[in-house]
Structure 1
Amino acid sequence: MKSRVIKALAIVSVFTAALAPAGAQAEWLRADTKHFILYSDGREAELTKFAVEAEKFDSLLRSWFKVGEHEDAIRLPVFIMKDSETVSKLRGVEKGALGGFYQALPEGAYALSNRAKPVSKFSGTGQQILFHEYTHHFFTRYVSGSYPTWLFEGFAEYFSTTTFDKDDSYTVGNIANSRAYGLTAGQNLPIERILTDGLTGLNRQQTDVYYGRSWLLTHHLMSDAAGRAQLSEYVKAFNSGTPPREAAESTFGPFEKLDQDLVALTRKGMVAFSSKEPIGYDPTVRITPLDTVDSELLELHINRIVQFQPDETLSKLRALAAIAPDRVGVLAELARAELETARKAGSAEATAIAVAAAEGTADKVLALDPDNVSAAMTKGLAILEHDDGNPSDEDVAAARKMFVKANNADPEEPRPLYEYFRSYAQYSGRPPDIAIQGLEAAFTKAPEIVDYRVALAFAYANLGRFDEAMSLVRYLAYHPHMAEHGKRLIEQLEKMREQREEFEKRLADAEEEESED
């Protein structure tokens, strides 16, 4: 009996190893902290250090921007890959061109970085990449208002080079060596262009200069009390609706003079801010080794959310489910992948087959774990794909029940609230107040997710609350990677406002004529 067990385990081990992507050797570790869930297939000591530094960094940002703790805040998953080549392959870009990135999907936000040692002092480290991306995440979730592209990236670059000493004291504003080439040898990009426009239309070299000079200006302004006061005045003007050019010129003075000051700054060097006071943070890190199946599952989960070889990922998930048929996590991930395949099936018949598969797998999960949020969500979303995305009223009602089930199982999960609202907005006309309140709660929990933000903006617009709607999408109009989308949304909202005002005017005129009669 003992030899059979050993052989069975050996077969499973060999089979799952064959399923793994090229380069995947070690089993993964999970590190749980107060604000993060980190995963790595590297050494435990390395992961622990990553986790501790991340917690220190969160505390640093909270201290600088006076952000308190939020009860039941959603922790950020962080996937630490072997090196930039692995990251680049996942993203489908040039080998070694990408060291990490951040995404905020409807199912949740995540960051992806790497643990390789930098090849030179001009290469960013995995920790710097994580700090950069987490600054974006932190600002979007906790810091109110909108920020122009240069400052959004400038803050991320400025804080990314933060270092902590053994006594937990810290230094902020260290030189961003990875931007050295762009600042010294890259194509010239006047500060006027940076302060008045975003990244659209720039080539790769110009983009590097944009990031570098944004960091340089941010560093310059953050280096003393007078500069920070200027920056605060600028942000206030920007958020009051002052056009970017006017806000910049009225605060920073002539662009030509500012350009000269920044050039001089690159020559004489900059001073970082060091604090001898230790940063307070929660040092608790709980390390959990993942077994072979869960390690393979994690890799396939990463592949799915970054959309790396989706067909192959689905095949591997099915193979993994065949050898681990009672693993709820495996089946839940498979159901999600099957549903995503259904949406890209290409024909009504293929879609129907894939939707049925996703529903069937979700049902298996719910039979094993009736309160599984992922499976309830997948089943509800699959029901809405009936008849090639044209569900009946009965289907929509059934889908809503699944979203309510998911919400009851985990009231802190925002997506069930969002999908409940969307089931009305997309299929049943005007959503009831309870659905709008649910959407507001979802956005409050995860304002970094663009889908929630846009849905809430148009919900407000439909209620005539256009100023609130504009405030929500204005953030996108200056986002480094969504500016064009944000501008189109503003145009749509402006058109809705005009139509509503015209309708209300005609209605008032009609009522006045009726009263005169």
Structure 2
Amino acid sequence: MNADWYQVETPHFRIVTNGRPAMVKDLARDLERFRAATSQLLRVRGDQQRLTVFALANRSSYAGIVGEEQARQTGGMFNHTSYGSFALVNLERYRFMREHPAREFLFHEYTHFLTYGSSPVQFPFWYSEGFAEFFSTAEFPGDGSYMFGAIPVDRANSLIHDRPMPLEDLLRATPATVDKKQRLKVYAGGWMLTHWLIMSSDKGGKIGDYIDAYNRGADPVDALTNALDMPLEDLERAYLQQAEGRFPKGKGQLPDDYRPADPQPRPMSQQRAVAEIARYMVMSGRKSESLEELVQYARAEGANSHELTSVMAVAETGSGAFERAEEILATIPADLHGEFWYRSAEAWLWLRRELQKGTESDLKQMAAVRDKFVSLINDNDEVAAHWYGLAIAMQKLGHLRGEYLEMLEQAYLRAPREGEIAWWYAHELYLDRDAESFAFVARPLLMQTSGQEFREQLQSMLADLPADGAPPMRWAGDTLGGTFSKYRDHSAYKALALAFDYRGACALGYIYGSPDQDTANERALAECESQRVEFDVETPCRVYAEGDRVVGGADASGRRL
């Protein structure tokens, strides 16, 4: 990484590179043109966050971030985090691509960013990759138009020399069920089927129905055949014919108000570049050994900085080494304590340290944590992690549920695919008995959740609170949805009390057959409290339902359970 560094900024991209600045400037212009074209086709939100791209000049620079094994297997990667979205690319690997190194890769990944970045909706593996491949070959002839649909360079070999993956296998494939060779077939087959749907069939308008059914949990094959109103045999025939035919291109015009970007590469100090890369490594969960190697390199090459020091403190905080993190931060001069990076590192250190104390956390210190996150959000309200930290601090301080839920919602809107944020938010929507909003969050979350216990919890909640006006389904077991189902079976004076904290820890207690409602409430609270202690739930118990009427939801009071 001992090279000259530059940053190239446009309205929607920020590229940090040690490659040739003129080449990266052209790449930035192409990315802005690509965004302008796809914004018409994908209904892109105008306020979508900028994408940060680390464009590394060669394999050694790339391997320094992702490790040798990943560098051998990939030429780039993409990460959504609660601190933003990032793409990494090895420019050297793509130097033989038409027109511009790495262009197809970045167009592919930016399509993922546009479709996934601000929505929890899950796409089938074949369609997610096929759709991104379809747009990755966008071309700009220079007359204000754009073209798409050409065969991607990386797929040409598979399409020419390999037999297509059988259609049913393609539709059922997931990243976890295919090996490396099959993955290449998924990309090629996904591109072929997507190309046919968009360019050669009259079924393009049905894709949305298919995605909706898929996210409702329908069988992946039935979801597509039903949406397209085609038997599987007819669909497979059309799919296989694609491998033998020519592929038409689509064409469109850039928006009338589009103005070409003219970014100017600006020199960037090696210290700042190394600090930014280190921060990305921590936020994306890279191995600590890679970070240590980068820090050692920075020290040896004179690229160390106070900002890099703060990143090391963040890494120590994440591993639970709070004393070490505090010692590291203490080495940073006081006149830098107002820097955004320092304040963020300190806020998370203070929060994590207090959270470790559980119910014994210092409320005065927690109030200071809350104020630190408020200050960070006032300076930059795009960082989901800071909204999440604020929501946690507010819940710990006993703020009204509706108040901290507003902060949690802001975190979710900025990072809907962050598991911890989505898990907490889904449960809160469930407790509000907001069936449509809950399903919108919980269904995609279920699809990305692998642990059996977590899956059963979400499945029970979806069965108990179905969208579309369907009646609740019974669910056996001690899950949240199962407990609510059993509670509804009882009559007379009854009450349900619960406690639920930011970690997803939950305590429940319900009583039925009491002589009066006040007695039922008291007994339910006592039962909940015994569970709260046993399961180490950090929030206090509260009466959630009296009889079948919800009394303890932020927006659900008065609704029937």
TM-score surpassing 0.5? Answer: yes
Quick one: which of 480, 499, 509 aligns to 1:496? 480
Q: Distance in 2 between matches of 1:424 and 1:516?
A: 34
Q: Tell me if 1:99 matches 2:75.
A: yes
Q: Cα deviation per residue 1:343-385 (whole Å; 9 max; x = unaligned)?
A: 437xxxxx243132244257x46x4352x33322211211234
Output the amino acid matched with 1:436.
L
Contact 1:79 1:111 in 2 (8 A): yes
Give the structure with the larger helix fraction. 1
**Residues 441, 388 of structure 1: alpha-carbon distance in 2 compared, 3 angstrom cutoff:** closer
Quick one: which of 219, 223, 237 aligns to 1:260? 237
Contact 2:118 2:413 in 1 (8 A): no
Contact 2:449 2:455 in 1 (8 A): no
Return the offset for 1:318.
Answer: 6.5
Return the offset for 1:456.
Answer: 1.8
Q: Distance in 1 between matches of 2:455 and 2:292?
A: 37
Output the amino acid matched with 2:486.
E
Contact 1:27 1:41 in 2 (8 A): yes
Quick one: which of 236, 251, 261 aligns to 1:283? 261
Contact 1:85 1:96 in 2 (8 A): no
Return the offset for 1:30.
Answer: 0.8
Q: Cα deviation per residue 1:39-91 (whole Å; 9 max; x = unaligned)?
A: 11122211111111111111112101233522xx4311111112356435532
**Residues 302, 357 of structure 1: alpha-carbon distance in 2 compared, 3 angstrom cutoff:** same
Quick one: which of 351, 365, 379 aligns to 2:346? 379
Q: Distance in 2 between matches of 1:39 and 1:27?
A: 11
Output the amino acid matched with 2:294.
T
Partner of residue 414, structure 2: 445
SS of structure 2 residue aligned to 1:101: strand
Partner of residue 274, structure 1: 251
Partner of residue 204, structure 1: 180
Q: Cα deviation per residue 1:125-178 (whole Å; 9 max; x = unaligned)?
A: 511111111111111235674422222222111111112222342111110231
Contact 1:169 1:278 in 2 (8 A): no
Q: How many residues align?
A: 473
Higher alpha-carbon deviation: 223-232 or 160-169: 223-232
Partner of residue 108, structure 1: 84
**Residues 158, 83 of structure 1: alpha-carbon distance in 2 compared, 3 angstrom cutoff:** farther
Partner of residue 470, structure 1: 439
Q: Distance in 2 between matches of 1:334 and 1:418?
A: 24
Partner of residue 520, structure 2: none
Q: Cα deviation per residue 1:187-244 (whole Å; 9 max; x = unaligned)?
A: 7632112223422221111111112111111111010471312324423444555443
Q: Tell me if 1:484 matches 2:459.
A: no
**Residues 121, 417 of structure 1: alpha-carbon distance in 2 compared, 3 angstrom cutoff:** closer
**Residues 310, 424 of structure 1: alpha-carbon distance in 2 compared, 3 angstrom cutoff:** same
Q: Distance in 2 between matches of 1:282 and 1:341?
A: 43
**Residues 160, 448 of structure 1: alpha-carbon distance in 2 compared, 3 angstrom cutoff:** farther
Return the offset for 1:121.
Answer: 6.3
Return the offset for 1:506.
Answer: 4.0
Higher alpha-carbon deviation: 431-440 or 37-46: 431-440
Q: Report the TM-score when normalising by structure 2.
A: 0.74
Q: Distance in 2 between matches of 1:342 and 1:223?
A: 51
Quick one: which of 49, 67, 70 aligns to 1:74? 49
**Residues 48, 379 of structure 1: alpha-carbon distance in 2 compared, 3 angstrom cutoff:** same
Q: Distance in 2 between matches of 1:430 and 1:241?
A: 36
Unaligned stretches of 5+ in structure 1?
Answer: 1-23, 325-329, 346-350
**Residues 451, 110 of structure 1: alpha-carbon distance in 2 compared, 3 angstrom cutoff:** farther
Q: Distance in 2 between matches of 1:388 and 1:446?
A: 22
Return the offset for 1:514.
Answer: 5.9
Partner of residue 15, structure 1: none
**Residues 85, 339 of structure 1: alpha-carbon distance in 2 compared, 3 angstrom cutoff:** closer
Contact 1:106 1:451 in 2 (8 A): no
Q: Distance in 2 between matches of 1:508 and 1:211?
A: 59
Partner of residue 104, structure 2: 128
Quick one: which of 261, 267, 272 aligns to 1:294? 272
Q: Distance in 1 between matches of 2:493 and 2:225?
A: 45
Partner of residue 24, structure 2: 47
Q: Tell me if 1:219 matches 2:200.
A: no
Contact 1:42 1:82 in 2 (8 A): yes
Contact 1:336 1:358 in 2 (8 A): no
| RMSD over aligned Cα atoms | 3.5
Quick one: which of 416, 419, 430 aligns to 1:461? 430
SS of structure 1 residue aligned to 2:203: helix
Contact 1:88 1:98 in 2 (8 A): no
Partner of residue 367, structure 2: 397
Contact 2:104 2:152 in 1 (8 A): no
SS of structure 2 residue aligned to 1:60: helix
Partner of residue 416, structure 1: 386
SS of structure 2 residue aligned to 1:34: coil
Return the offset for 1:337.
Answer: 1.8
* Percent identical residues: 21
Output the amino acid matched with 1:419.
G
Contact 1:170 1:274 in 2 (8 A): yes
**Residues 125, 293 of structure 1: alpha-carbon distance in 2 compared, 3 angstrom cutoff:** closer
Q: Distance in 1 between matches of 2:108 and 2:41?
A: 15
Q: Tell me if 1:339 matches 2:298.
A: no
Q: Distance in 1 between matches of 2:158 and 2:491?
A: 58
Partner of residue 311, structure 1: 292
Contact 1:88 1:97 in 2 (8 A): no
Unaligned stretches of 5+ in structure 2?
Answer: 461-478, 496-511, 518-561
Q: Tell me if 1:406 matches 2:383.
A: no
Contact 2:125 2:174 in 1 (8 A): yes
Q: Distance in 2 between matches of 1:489 and 1:281?
A: 48
Contact 2:172 2:220 in 1 (8 A): yes
Q: Distance in 1 between matches of 2:283 and 2:158?
A: 32
Larger RCO: 1 or 2 (CA < 8 Å, sep 6+)? 1
**Residues 88, 265 of structure 1: alpha-carbon distance in 2 compared, 3 angstrom cutoff:** farther
Q: Distance in 1 between matches of 2:515 and 2:99?
A: 75
Q: Tell me if 1:368 matches 2:336.
A: yes
Partner of residue 234, structure 1: 210
Output the amino acid matched with 1:474.
R
**Residues 301, 377 of structure 1: alpha-carbon distance in 2 compared, 3 angstrom cutoff:** closer
